Chains A and B, each alone.
Chain A
Amino acid sequence: MEFIYYFGEVFTPLSFMLLLGGTIGGLILGATPGLSPTMAVALLIPFTFQLEAAQGLILLGAAYTSTVAGGAVSAILLKIPGAPANIATTLDGHTMAKQGQGARALQLSFLASAVGGIFGVLLLIFLTPVLAQWALAFGPSHLFWLAILGVTVIGTLDSASVVKGLLSGCIGLWLATIGFDDIMGAQRFIFHPALGGGINIIAALIGLFAIPQVLTMFAKGRHNTGAEVIEVQRHSIMAAFKELFSRTRALSIGTLTGSIIGLIPGVGGQIAGLVAYDQTKKFSAEKDKFGTGHSEGVIAAESANNAMVGPSLVPLLTLSIPGSPTAAVLLGGLLIHGIFPGSDLFDNHPDVAWTFINSMLIGQVLMCIFGLYVAGLAARVAQVPQSVMAAIVLALSVFGAYSVQGSMGDVYVMACLGIGMFFLERFGFSAAPLVLGLILGPIAEANFIQGGMIADATVGKASYFMTGGLNLFLIAVVLASIAYSVWMELRSRRYTTKEEAQA
């Protein structure tokens, strides 16, 4: 309960101003395509040089929480996921926005973010020592099985047919092999210097999601502009509250999945949203509505990606190991003030540690308030005529892809993948499984090679990957997930053949 003593620190005038500034700035940065939470926090580090340690961290903590939530804005309104965390949000969120329910989608996403985020920070406050052990429990073999578990999701995610889902997943896995292999140093499929570093995930996201819709808008031509101006429905915040708490299943699955996965170093943040989305879909009574603008999808994805924020800092704060790229940037922010995370932080600088954690708690609430305030205004974006919208999204996509590393190479990658995806979509393939393959491929591969090297030096591959409680548990979940997909596929096939026979 130590953290309560330090709440006062957060509410001193300067600290609170920083908290407000960090939150609002974070929302704007998060909503800008291409500026991931990691980049946003890195951009703010130089500002903390002049501040006290605790105040600097307030700014960084607030920015981290609100950029993650802010990513939902461009994901919902423009179908540009700002970071891998927001991929799942686009699936239902953007469809809702196109139906004129952008305000509802945004309100739900900010409320779900706040609920998930507060739960995650509370976990960080109360269970840090326990969670630290959990984060360490995942070795290469476990991460490998976890990535394979993610691969089993590919077939069922946002796809009309399992086969097409798997095919686009394979394309993603192939794209992931491009570039220098970090472990062995081998060069694979590098036909152009721009590909030396591999496919940048954020540039790929922008290309795969935003470009096909830009092309579709252009393809429609001018003649029917105005014909489909969308009526943007107003939506009251109270109604959003009620809806959120009537969707407790989506909310709790999202929050729990996000918290648990967020904890695992190196994997968490990227796939939390997608895994939560898929799990919610599997447990939902209205499976068929997912992908057609169903609110459960938005709630699950957004509660998961903000729930991950708190636990993702556990390895950093307790063990001094940054578990995610954003945590690595925050480590820099601590070091610059001469504070070492670990026991030193909580024993000798409790004021800094707890003020930082408290600021993330208050930051969640502030983020939600501002988010709800802008939701109604921002949703009007959907009224912009399509031809104008296409130009705006295209400009933002180029800007976003360029700003990731200041490189035109990423823009070319974005454009190529986008054009390719446009044609793939014509044949019923969708982008989400492809992206999942792109994210999971390197995780599975690196951990398999690394685990294999350790295994060869010690107990042998079979017993390294196949024995031990956690390995067996994960293998069981993988098998269950595959069995479930097969069963669903068979069942739906039986129904369709029956219907076809009757027709």
Chain B
Amino acid sequence: MKRLIAGAAMALAGLTGAAMAEEYPERPLMMMVSYGAGGATDFQARIVTMTAGNEDALGMPIAIINKPGAGGRVGWNWFATQADPDGYTLAAYNVPHFIAQSIKGGVEYSADSFEPIANWGADPAVFVVGADSEFNSMEDVVAFAKENPGKLTVSGAGLFVGHHIAALQIDKAAGTKMAYIPTKGGGAAAMKAVIAGEVMGGINNLSDAFRAQEAGNVKILGVADLERNAFLPDVPTMMEQGLDVDNSSVNFRGVMVPKGTPPEVIEKLAATVPEMFANSRVAKKMEAGGSPMHIMTRDEVIEMWAQRQQTLNELLAGL
């Protein structure tokens, strides 16, 4: 008798599980963005989720809510500790930011607290100097930094974000020591410091630097990525200029869910979300905004997270 009941219960559980995956999602979803409204992550999150309500995507809209503060820590802390793992609460991730923060400590999450779903964008860090700067290549920059240790001021959006990691990697590759100046107010404030000549150079997002170069305010000297970028076909990568800098500082943006979300929900999301990102309307809007897209599936993201964890552990160990 006991066995019968257990069997029935198991069958029932199996049934509801299957039914849940089939019906999911039956109400609108929510996606938490841990940066303020209007920032690059928020802006892109709104574009890539705008077709979620289509029949060929999730069939339900995704609403964006912002929980900004402390460089993203507030939002991700909330997501790791308080978000319901029911499949209706998603979040945007920024790699390497959250991984670097978890290595430096003081937060309640690590890469193990989350389950990636898919990646939508990759915004590499680039090295920019003012339009009238005497530097014309990374070689000039490194030569100056070698002659004047600690004197080359370089702005970036904060500590332990992609910009900072790119600066650390350049230092490591060239054997230099630049004075990295973290700014409050994100990439925009760091870019302003470069344009106004407060600092000699800066590390910034490719998308923002591309705009500033179009406006004639800055020169872009190098891209911290494995390949040249479609937006900037003439700008060489760091590697081409003899600096051993890989894509660890590239700002990857994508969607994740909290650990403990039912596997069938994760499966369904992992299958649908990349398709949703690939929608041509999304691609058009993203390109118009100067935001580089890079769609990756769940398996690719899991691998990428693991790689980052390892590189960042090594890079940040000495700090």
Contacts and interface: CB of A to CB of B under 8 A. Distances in A.
Interface of A: 38-39, 41-42, 45-46, 49, 136-137, 139-140, 179-180, 182-185, 187, 193, 196-198, 200, 265-266, 315, 319-322, 325-326, 328-332, 335-338, 340-344, 405-407, 442, 446, 450, 453-454, 456-458
A193 B196 contact: no
Contacts of B77: 193, 196
Nearest to B50: A49
Given A328-B36, A335-B289, A454 B211 contact: no
Contacts of B74: 180, 196-197
Most chain A CB inside 10 Å of its own CB: which residue of B47, B150, B188, B285 = B188
Given A39-B37, A340-B214, 6 more contacts: A140-B198, A266-B189, A322-B188, A335-B288, A336-B289, A342-B216
B46 A321 contact: no
B184 A183 contact: yes
Contact of B192 (A187, A198, A265): A265
Contacts of B159: 183-185
A338 B192 contact: no
Interface of B: 36-39, 42-43, 46-47, 50, 65-71, 73-74, 77-78, 81, 104, 106, 108, 150-153, 158-160, 179, 181-185, 188-189, 191-193, 195-196, 198-199, 211-212, 214-217, 285, 287-291
Contacts of A335: 43, 288-291
A94 to B, nearest CB: 29
Contacts of A136: 192, 195-196
Nearest to B164: A185
Contacts of A344: 214-215
Nearest to A138: B196
Contact of B106 (A187, A319, A446): A187
B181 A180 contact: no
Given A265-B192, A336-B285, A336-B289, A454 B70 contact: no
A320 B212 contact: yes
A344 B216 CA distance: 10
Max count, chain B CB within 10 A of own CB: residue among A140, A193, A266, A332: A332
Contacts of A46: 46, 50
A320 B191 CA distance: 10
A325 B46 contact: no
Contacts of B65: 406
B36 A319 contact: no
A332 B106 contact: no
B151 A458 contact: yes
Contacts of A187: 106
Contacts of A450: 181-184
B191 A321 contact: yes
Contacts of B291: 335
Contacts of A325: 36, 38
21 contacts: A39-B37, A136-B196, A139-B193, A180-B106, A184-B159, A185-B104, A197-B74, A198-B70, A320-B211, A322-B38, A328-B188, A338-B287, A343-B215, A405-B66, A406-B67, A407-B78, A442-B184, A450-B181, A453-B179, A454-B199, A458-B153
B184 A457 contact: no
Contacts of B214: 340, 342-344
B69 A197 contact: yes
Contacts of A184: 159, 182
B70 A196 contact: yes
Contacts of B189: 265-266
A492 to B, nearest CB: 38
A342 B211 CA distance: 8
Contact of A198 (B36, B69, B198, B216): B69
Contact of B217 (A179, A320, A330): A320
Contact of A196 (B39, B50, B69): B69
Contact of A42 (B37, B104, B108, B288): B37
A269 B138 CA distance: 38
Contacts of A198: 69-70
Contacts of B184: 182-183, 442, 446, 450
Contacts of B153: 453-454, 457-458
A229 B234 CA distance: 73
A216 B153 CA distance: 53
Contacts of A331: 38
| Most-contacted residue by chain B among A137, A197, A407 (CB, 10 A) | A197
Contacts of A342: 211-212, 214-217
Contacts of B188: 321-322, 328
A336 B44 CA distance: 9
A405 B215 contact: no
A88 to B, nearest CB: 24
A38 B37 contact: yes
Contact of A183 (B36, B66, B179, B182): B182
A196 B73 contact: yes
B67 to A, nearest CB: 5
Contacts of B289: 335-336, 338
* Top-8 shortest CB links A-B: A197-B69, A342-B215, A338-B288, A329-B38, A180-B70, A42-B37, A457-B179, A335-B289
B216 to A, nearest CB: 6
A336 B211 contact: no
A203 to B, nearest CB: 12
Nearest to B104: A185
B205 to A, nearest CB: 13
Given A38-B37, A454-B198, A457-B150, A180 B73 contact: yes
A376 B158 CA distance: 49
A303 B199 CA distance: 35
Contacts of A337: 288
A454 B199 CA distance: 7
Given A180-B70, A335-B290, A42 B38 contact: yes
A406 B183 CA distance: 27
A332 B42 contact: yes
A45 B46 contact: yes
A450 B159 CA distance: 12
A70 to B, nearest CB: 18
Contacts of B181: 450, 453-454, 457
A274 B24 CA distance: 52
Nearest to B208: A320
A266 B185 contact: yes
A202 to B, nearest CB: 12
Contact of A315 (B151, B185, B192): B192
